[in-house]
Chains A and B, each alone.
Chain A
């Protein structure tokens, strides 16, 4: 009996995944088209470089295609793809870190101690902001964090990973994850407040 023809435009992700697992590149192209922004956005949020983010997301799609048979559907396809791009970005950042002679990260961890002593932000620094403006400020603030702090924040707040899972992925202790997350949040609150003060 001939295989049923897929209406690629309207087909659900899992149907396209099944098609792609059988070698249907058109189905895979459709999946790429649907989720390319999300995969690129995750790469960009982590590496903060447009060109590198494009390359990493492209690499993630190629890996996705190669490992498609391993996808069992425990999570959604886009979650599975996001995990692939996150792992690629973490490897990329590790390589970059090894290449750097000086670790800026250590300097920042020390500064983290100073940040802890900063007064608590009691007012809502984002009150009255339009959503687009709010998102732009969050993006700008994320760009001012170090890679380690930003990564922890992204994995926790945007990807919803638990401390244990983040520690495993970042190859560090749970204590380090907690400490970095704490510093990153306090820094974000502080940056938001300083921009609010500038505006007013």
Chain B
């Protein structure tokens, strides 16, 4: 017997063949002892399993099992609410965001007038009211202020300079 015939014997035992094919296999079982023996073994095993599924019991109490399931259900049900809250902001936030972004850009333009200037260091003219000379180093992130009429000088950090 070849593999194909063996598999057909099994399909016959499982009722998976067309009536025409089933008739052919039935004839094979009738005339061939080897086919008959294999068919009997396959059918016996099939019937044995179908009637004797092992009994397996849940290894924990029903209450404990349910408590875990209930907790998971609760957790899953609270999650979409959270997601929804963050996914769809309040109506005013939709308008607030672009306004806030525009205001921020405008503020930066006012506060940092030279922000788009080149990165090179620059020395500004003395401010008449303060009588000082300011040197700003963009690369070092540092500003130096010389006070006129005074031999002393001081270093100012960028934040205090602003």
Point out residues on A near B: beta carbons under 8 Å: 25, 29, 32-33, 36-37, 40-41, 44-45, 50, 54, 57-59, 61-62, 65-66, 116, 120-122, 124, 126, 131, 134-136, 138-139, 142, 153, 156-158, 162-163, 178-179, 181-182, 185-186, 188-189
Contacts and interface: CB of A to CB of B under 8 A. Distances in A.
Contacts of A65: 69, 73
B52 A131 contact: yes
Interface string B50-82: 101111111110100110111011001000000
Q: Return the 3 tightest CB-CB contacts between A and B, nearest first.
A: A139-B54, A41-B56, A157-B49
B76 A62 contact: yes
B38 interface: yes
Contacts of A121: 41
Given A36-B62, A116-B6, A25 B70 contact: yes
Nearest to A134: B52
A66 B72 CA distance: 11
Contact of B53 (A136, A158, A179): A158
Contact of B62 (A33, A135, A153, A186): A33
Contacts of A61: 69
**Interface size of B as a range:** 35 or more
B66 A32 contact: yes
Contacts of A58: 65, 68-69, 72
B112 to A, nearest CB: 53
B16 interface: yes
Given A37-B57, A54-B60, A189-B41, A62 B72 contact: yes
Interface of B: 3, 6-7, 10-11, 14, 16, 34, 37-38, 40-42, 44-46, 48-50, 52-60, 62, 65-66, 68-70, 72-73, 76
B52 A29 contact: no
B49 A188 contact: yes
A185 B42 contact: yes
Contacts of B7: 178-179, 182
B72 to A, nearest CB: 5
Q: Which of A121, A135, A185 has the most CB of B within 10 A?
A: A185
